[in-house]
């Protein structure tokens, strides 16, 4: 039995005029029927714009690159999954039996997509200002912790710029292993700089994290030399 969505609405601080929009936002494609894929697409765009606007007005001296990195840290899958867990979103999702058995209600990608779909459902139900108010309330604690000094370029970007400065071909990334259950996987990725004959290996709970780890190791190795 699914948790009472009225509790979710109270935590979101929004009451739906059309509850079916929320039901659709909570329905994964594996459950069949009308699902949240289109809503997730719309919610991703709405969230990106509202976060960009907030950052633009909050960090008035930030460069385009700094603003982009700040936005990426807020709208990335890991952050949205954290937001979803704050609301215990997995308790409300409608999933197919296969996804339920594999722990889909705890998977970062499904949780993040669900959050974006909810934002879109609020936008369609109550308009832009209602959606913005919900997003601002949810993300305000994270805004408060942000500063430009603590959001440097990610390792993949740093490595790319380092190699470009040396006029060396850009690195390649390849998944070499995936271990664990679908909801608790460990990715192993190689980072290869062919022009220098160098290879490093990184690990992480997602492909992105493993690539960043491998890039960080490569960057440290090259700088040590």
Best CA proximity match to 72, nearest among 149, 152, 160? 152
Active-site residue (options: 44, 54, 113, 211): 44
Contacts of 101 (CB under 8 A, 6+ apart): none
| Catalytic status, residue 116 | yes
Sheet containing strand 172-179, strands side by side: 172-179, 186-193, 198-204
| Catalytic status, residue 82 | no
Active-site residue (options: 40, 108, 116, 213): 116
Give the integer Cα–Cα distance in Å for 137 and 149.
24
Contacts of 210 (CB under 8 A, 6+ apart): 175, 187, 188, 189, 202, 203, 204
Do 108 and 81 meet the contact criterion of CB atoms below 8 Å apart? Answer: yes
- Kindly list the catalytic residues: 44, 116
């Amino acid at each position: 039995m699914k948790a009472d969505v009225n509790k979710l609405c109270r935590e979101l601080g929004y009451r739906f005029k059309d509850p079916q929009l929320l039901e659709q936002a909570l329905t994964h494609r594996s459950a069949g029927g009308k699902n949240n894929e289109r809503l997730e697409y719309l919610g991703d765009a709405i969230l990106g714009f509202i976060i960009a606007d907030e950052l633009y007005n909050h960090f008035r001296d930030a460069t385009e690159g700094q603003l982009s990195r700040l936005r990426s840290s807020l709208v990335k899958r890991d952050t949205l999954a954290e937001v979803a867990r704050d609301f215990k979103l997995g308790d409300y999702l409608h999933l197919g039996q296969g996804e339920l058995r594999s722990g889909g209600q705890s998977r970062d990608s499904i949780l993040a997509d669900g959050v974006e779909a909810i934002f879109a459902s609020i936008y369609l139900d109550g308009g832009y200002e209602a959606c913005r108010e919900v997003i601002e309330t949810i993300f305000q604690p994270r805004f408060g912790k942000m500063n430009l000094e603590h959001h440097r370029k990610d390792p993949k970007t740093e490595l790319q710029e380092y190699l470009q400065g040396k006029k060396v071909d850009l690195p390649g990334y390849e998944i070499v292993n995936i271990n664990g259950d679908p909801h608790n996987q460990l990715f192993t990725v190689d980072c290869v700089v062919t022009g220098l004959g160098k290879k490093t290996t990184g690990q992480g709970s997602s492909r992105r994290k493993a690539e960043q780890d491998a890039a960080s190791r490569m960057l440290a190795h090259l700088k040590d030399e």
